[in-house]
Amino acid sequence: MIRILARRLAEVAIFLLLITFVSFLFARMAPGDPVLSILRVDDLSVSAEQVEQLREDMGFNEPLLVQYGEWLADFARLDFGNSYISNQPVMDMLRGGVPATLELTLGGLFVMVLVALPLGSLAALYRGRWIDQVSRGLSLLGAAVPSFWLGLILIDLLGVRLGWLPTMGRDGLHSAVLPSVTLGLAISSVYVRLLRSSLIDSLNQENIRAARARGISEPRIFFSHVLRASLPPVITVFGVSLGSLIGGVVVIEVIFAYPGIGKMVVDAIRGRDYPMIQGYIFVMAILVFVINSIVDLSYRYLNPELRLKGKGRV
Amino acid sequence: MKSGLTINKTCATKVFLSTFLILIASIAAYTFLILKHDPSFVDLNERLLPMSWQHPFGTDHLGRDMLTRILLGFQLTVGYGFLALLLAVAIGVPMGVIAGFKGGLIDRLLMRVADAFLAFPDTVVAIVLSGLLGAGIENLLLAIILVKWVNYARLARSTVVTERQKDYITMAKINGLSEWRIMLKHLFPHLIGHILVLASLDLGKIILLISSLSYIGLGAQPPAPEWGAMLNEARPYFQTVPALMIYPGLAIVTVVLFSNLLGDYLRDKFDVKKEVAE
Amino acid sequence: MTLLSVQNLTVQAGEAPLVSNISFDVQKGEWLAIIGQSGSGKSVTASAIGRLLAPNLKAQGKALYNGKDILQLGAKEMRRLRGTSISYIFQDYQGSFTPFHTIGRHFDEFLKAHFKLSKARRREMAEQALESVGLQPEMYTRYPFQLSGGQLQRSSIALALLTKPDLVIADEPTAALDSISAFKVLRLLADLQQETGCAMLFITHDLRHVRKHADQIIVIKEGAVVEKGDKQSVLDQPQHPYTRALMEASPSLSAASQLLKGDDTACLYCN
DSSP secondary structure letters along C102-160 = -HHHHHHHHHHHH----HHHHHHHHHHHHHHTT--GGGGG--GGGS-HHHHHHHHHHHH
- Report the pLDDT value the prediction gives residue C264, as an integer from 0 to 100: 41
Q: Do B217 and A270 touch (CB under 8 A)?
A: yes
Q: How far apart are CA C221 and CA C242, in angstroms?
A: 8
Q: Which residue of B has its CA nearest to A239?
A: B119
Mutate which: A214, A228, A299, vs C, most C CBs within 10 A: A214
Calculate Rg over the CA atoms of chain B.
Answer: 22
pLDDT surpasses 50 at A17: yes
Asked whether B209 and A262 are in contact (CB, 8 A), the reply is no
Q: pLDDT tens across A232-259, in order?
A: 888 878 776 766 677 778 889 988 888 8
| Cα gap C56→A89, rounded to integer Å | 66
Maximal C-alpha separation, chain B? 77
* Least confident among B93-102, B126-135, C215-224: B126-135
Q: What is the interface pTM, i.e. ipTM, of the complex?
A: 0.82
Task: Give the pLDDT band (50/70/90) at residue B53.
Answer: low
Query: In this complex, which of A145, A265, A268 lies closest to B253 when CB atoms are compared?
Result: A145
- Average pLDDT for C7-26: 87
- pLDDT of the residue at A310: 46
| B33 CB neighbour count, 10 Å cutoff | 7
∠ CA(B24), CA(B231), CA(A256), 5° rounding?
A: 135
Residue A181, Cα to own-chain centre: how many angstroms?
15
Class of residue B274 by CB neighbours under 10 A (exposed 0-12, middle 13-18, buried 19+)? exposed
The residues facing C32 across adjacent strands are C201, C216
**Contact: B216, A20; criterion CB under 8 Å:** no
User: What is the pTM for the complete model shown?
Assistant: 0.76
CA A62 to chain centre: 35
pLDDT in tens, B111-163: 888 877 777 777 888 888 777 777 788 888 888 888 888 889 988 888 888 77
Please give the pLDDT value at position C21: 87
Cα–Cα dist A132/A145, whole Å: 20
Task: State the first-to-last Cα distance of chain B, in angstroms, to the nearest integer.
Answer: 29
Q: H or E stretch including A253?
A: helix A242-255
Q: Checking phi first, is residue B94 left (phi over 0); if not, alpha (psi -120 to 50) or beta?
A: alpha
- Alpha-carbon distance of C179 to B45, in angstroms, equals 93
Instruction: Kindly tell me if the per-residue pLDDT of B196 is higher than 60.
Output: yes
Q: Which of B47-56, B64-73, C253-262 has the highest mean pLDDT?
A: B64-73
Percent of chain A with pLDDT over 70: 82
Asked whether residue B236 carries a pLDDT value surpassing 80, the answer given is no
A82 DSSP assignment: B
Give the largest Cα separation in chain C, rounded: 56
Terminal C-alpha separation, chain C: 42
Phi, psi dihedral angles at B223 (to 5 degrees): -90, 15
- Per DSSP, the three-state class of A170 is coil
What residue of B is the nearest CA neighbor of A290?
B119
Quick check: C151 and C139 in contact, CB under 8 A? yes
- Assign C167 to helix, strand or coil: strand
What whole-number percentage of chain B has pLDDT above 90?
3
- How many CB contacts within 8 angstroms connect chain A with chain B? 165
CA dist A93 and A83 (Å) reads 9
pLDDT at A115: 92
Note the pLDDT of residue A38. 52
Identity of residue A301: Y
8 Å CB contact of B146 and A19: yes
The mean pLDDT of chain C is 83
Nearest chain B residue to A152, by CA: B245
The three-state secondary structure class of C233 is helix
| Closest CB to A144 among B235, B242, B257 | B257
Sheet holding C31-35, edge to edge: C86-89, C167-171, C199-204, C31-35, C216-221, C224-230
Mean pLDDT of B88-96: 90
H-helix or E-strand spanning residue B138: helix B137-164
The CA–CA distances, whole Å, from B12 to A128, A188, B5, B19 equal 16, 24, 11, 11
| C104 vs C222: CA distance, rounded Å | 40
pLDDT tens column, A110-138: 999 999 999 999 999 888 888 888 898 89
Give tens-digit pLDDT for A283-303. 888 888 887 788 777 777 777
Q: What secondary structure letter does DSSP report for C40?
A: S
Residue-wise pLDDT for B255-272, tens only, equals 888 888 888 888 777 765
Alpha-carbon distance of B55 to B74, in angstroms, equals 18
A32-36, C122-126, C174-178, C232-236 — most confident range: C122-126
- Chain C closest-CA separation from residue A301 CA (Å): 9
Stretch A74-100: mean pLDDT: 81
Highest mean pLDDT among A21-35, A67-81, A207-221: A207-221
The pLDDT value given to residue C106: 92
Within a 10 A sphere around the Cβ of A99, how many other Cβ atoms? 13
> How far C156 CA sits from the closest chain A CA (Å)?
10
Chain C hits for A214, Cβ within 8 Å:
82-83, 87-88, 106, 109-110, 113, 159
Computed over every residue of chain B, the mean pLDDT equals 77
Rounded mean pLDDT, B224-235: 83
CB within 8 Å: A210 and C87: no
Any idea what DSSP says for residue A264? H
- Strand ranges across the sheet with C16-27: C16-27, C2-13, C57-65, C68-69
Q: Is residue A94 within 8 Å of A280, Cβ to Cβ? A: yes
pLDDT at residue C258 in the model: 47
Smallest CA-to-CA distance from B137 within B231, B228, B37, B31 is with B228
Q: How far is A235 from A298, CA to CA, in rounded Å?
A: 8
- Averaged pLDDT, A181-187: 89
Give the closest-approach CA distance of A204 to chain B in angstroms: 16
Residue numbers in A near C106 (CB within 8 A):
214
Choose between C190 and A21: higher pLDDT. Answer: C190
Find chain B residues with C-beta within 8 A of A247's C-beta: 121-124, 126-127, 209
Q: With a cut of 80, say whether residue B36 has pLDDT above it.
A: no
Highest mean predicted confidence (pLDDT) among B19-23, B32-36, C44-48, C181-185? C44-48
Residue A156: closest C-alpha in chain B: B239
The mean pLDDT of C78-99, rounded to a whole number, is 88
Nearest to A121 by CA among A197, A180, A42: A197
| Residue from the list B120, B133, B215 with its beta carbon closest to the beta carbon of A148 | B215
pLDDT at B87 over 90: yes
A247 to B121: CB separation less than 8 angstroms, yes or no: yes
Distance in Å from the first CA to the final CA of chain A: 24
Tens of pLDDT, residue by residue over C48-61, are 888 888 888 888 88
CA–CA min distance B242, chain A (Å): 9
Q: What is the pLDDT of residue B42?
A: 66
**Residue range C158-187: average pLDDT?**
87
Using a CB-CB cut-off of 8 Å, the residues of chain A touching B204 are: 143-144
Which of the two residues, C2 and A160, has the higher pLDDT score? C2
- Give, in degrees to the nearest 5, the angle at Cα C185 between C183 and C186: 65
Note whether C224 and C21 are within 8 A (CB). Answer: yes
Which spans in A47-146 are helix H? Answer: 48-57, 64-77, 90-125, 130-144
pLDDT digits (tens, 9 = 90+) for A31-43: 455 555 555 544 4
Whether residue A169 contacts residue A257, with contact meaning beta carbons closer than 8 Å, is answered with yes
Mutate one of A15, A64, A289 to test the B interface: name it (highest B CB count within 10 A): A15
Cβ-Cβ contacts under 8 Å, A149 against chain B: 231, 245, 249, 252-253
Q: Do A213 and C50 touch (CB under 8 A)?
A: yes
Rounded-to-integer distance, Cα B249 and Cα B256, Å: 11
Minimal CA separation from B114 to chain A, in Å:
9
A308 to chain C: which residues are within 8 Å by CB? 143, 146
Q: 3-state DSSP helix/strand/coil percent for chain A, to nearest 5?
A: 75, 0, 20
Residue A46, pLDDT score: 61
Residue A308's CB: how many other CB atoms inside 10 A?
14
pLDDT at A114: 93
Write the DSSP string, C243-265. Answer: HHHHHHHSPPTHHHHHHTTT-SS
